Structure 1
């Protein structure tokens, strides 16, 4: 389960970077369906991460990875909605990307 979580997480980060680039380069931003799919896949990754956490039982010091990831997904949910202005969505995606990359590096560090 750990390997699946890692591979899925890497692909998810790539997808989120793609959405960020699309959001930046397009006048209207990324399509609503793509943004929703990316956020839905992040939610699924949280569920997979919880299952991995339960089954792998990491050391107590391994707390920053899930904190960074949950905060990233909360920011994505709040700041990337279609009712937000494009600048808010772009900022939300960039902050989400940075937190996901930092959280993933804590997992592999």
Structure 2
């Protein structure tokens, strides 16, 4: 389960970077369906992460990875909504990307 969580997480980070670049490079931003897919896949990753956490029983010191990831997904849900201005959406995607990369680095570090 850990290997699946890691590979899926890497692919998810790459997808989020694609969405971020799309959001930045087009006038209208990323398509609604692409944003929805990225957010939904992040939600699924949280569920997989919880299952992995329960089955792998990591050390108590391993707390920053899930904190970074949950905060990243909360920011993605709130700040990348189409109701937000383009600048806010871009900022939300960039912060989400940075937190996902830092969270993954903490996992692999």
Backbone CA RMSD of aligned residues: 0.2
Shift of 1:70: 0.1
Q: Which runs of 5+ in 2 are unaligned?
A: none
Structure-2 separation of matches of 1:72 and 1:92 = 9
Question: Does the alignment pair 1:59 with 2:62?
Answer: no
- For 1:16, the equivalent position in structure 2 comes to 16
Q: Which runs of 5+ in 1 are unaligned?
A: none
Shift of 1:40: 0.3
Aligned residues: 109
Structure 1 outlier segments of 4+, above 3 Å: none
CA shift digits 1:23-48 (9 cap, x unpaired): 00000000000001000000000000
- For 2:73, the equivalent position in structure 1 comes to 73
Shift of 1:97: 0.1
Question: Does the alignment pair 1:86 with 2:91?
Answer: no
CA shift digits 1:38-88 (9 cap, x unpaired): 000000000000000000000000000000000000000000001011000
